[in-house]
Amino acid sequence: MEVTYLKAINQALHEEMARDENVFVMGKDVAELGGAFKVTEGLLAAFGEDRVIDTPISESLIIGAGVGAAVLGMHPVLEMQFADFISCGFDQIVNTAATLRYRHGGKASCPMVVRAPSGAGVHGALFHSQNPEAWFTRVPGLKVVAPATAYDAKGLLKSAIRDGNPVIYFEHKRLYRSIKEDLPEGEFTVAIGVAEIRRPGKDLSLITYGGTLHQSLDAARIVEQEDGLSVEVLDLRTLLPLDREAILDTARRTGKVLIVHEDRLTGGIGGEVAAIIAEHAFEHLDGPVRRLAALDTHVAFAPSMEEFILPNSNKIVRAIRELAAY
């Protein structure tokens, strides 16, 4: 049976809470309502109010309480109703959770997951459309993941819950019900820190993650059919730590690299990926490393303006053709 991206996350939560009684869920409307997007639906009935906890509208409270619970041996999964508001708990994440193991010489840990529904393309305007992953990808002590498939959504969340470190788990809202996949019946996880080639190719490498993976795959199919170009698509899946070897391998194999993400161009993780390639694979390149991302502006509410700001398959096709012709 096909499972949606949203249901895959829900399954992971059910399975991990059944596996380990120390796993609990906390956030705004996660209990009675089942979450604003219904990701936590059914958890309250299955595990009770002691393990599925509705909170006030305070991200700093949610994350701060989660850090305290994690220090005491619990495994909290904390929901930010929208990733945009993770900024309200920024101090607790980067100055408390991320530094805790280091500050205690490895003798303490903070095993918690912060679920962050992110991304645009859903007409959510500037406060409900952001992709704030780059705020966290430079912070030692954190792990940052961004699944783009139902399989990875489930497998990476299970790995994140079992990890001994704070993990920021970005789930793209546009994928919730638009992506479906047959999932294995048995137990499986997806390793954090390992990228995946979604489409092999020889002419050009397209490196992406999260909300732009499927647009990138669409673009790769179009240029193959219309231009005869063979485009390799690498899904990063994990943004911290980056799979440097996978990035360098694809760059060396094709000699041309296009990096695509929905986050804004300036300061986005694409700049770090480009720097890794420029520093360690320069002699293999046959063209400039190119980035395609959202414009450096806030996401507009009007659908036409939102479309103008964001990357899409047509923009990716144009960028592939321009780079291939270099």
Which of the residues are catalytic? 128
Contact between 69 and 100 (Cβ < 8 Å): no
Give dist(CA 229, CA 226) in Å, integer: 8
Residue 165 CA from chain centroid, whole number: 16
Give dist(CA 253, CA 264) in Å, integer: 27
- 3-state SS record for the chain: CEEEHHHHHHHHHHHHHHHCCCEEEEECCCCCCCCCCCCCCCHHHHHCCCCEEECCCCHHHHHHHHHHHHHCCCEEEEECCCHHHHHHHHHHHHHHHCCHHHHCCCCCCCCCEEEEEECCCCCCCCCCCCCHHHHCCCCCCCEEECCCCHHHHHHHHHHHHHCCCCEEEEEEHHHCCCCEEECCCCCCCCCCCCCEEEECCCCEEEEECHHHHHHHHHHHHHHHHHHCCCEEEEECCEEECCCHHHHHHHHHHHCCEEEEEEEECCCCHHHHHHHHHHHHCHHHCCCCCEEEEECCCCCCCCHHHHHHHCCCHHHHHHHHHHHHCC
Region of 54 on the Ramachandran plot (φ > 0 left; ψ -120 to 50 alpha; else beta): beta
The dihedrals phi and psi of 110, each to the nearest 5 degrees, come to -135, 75
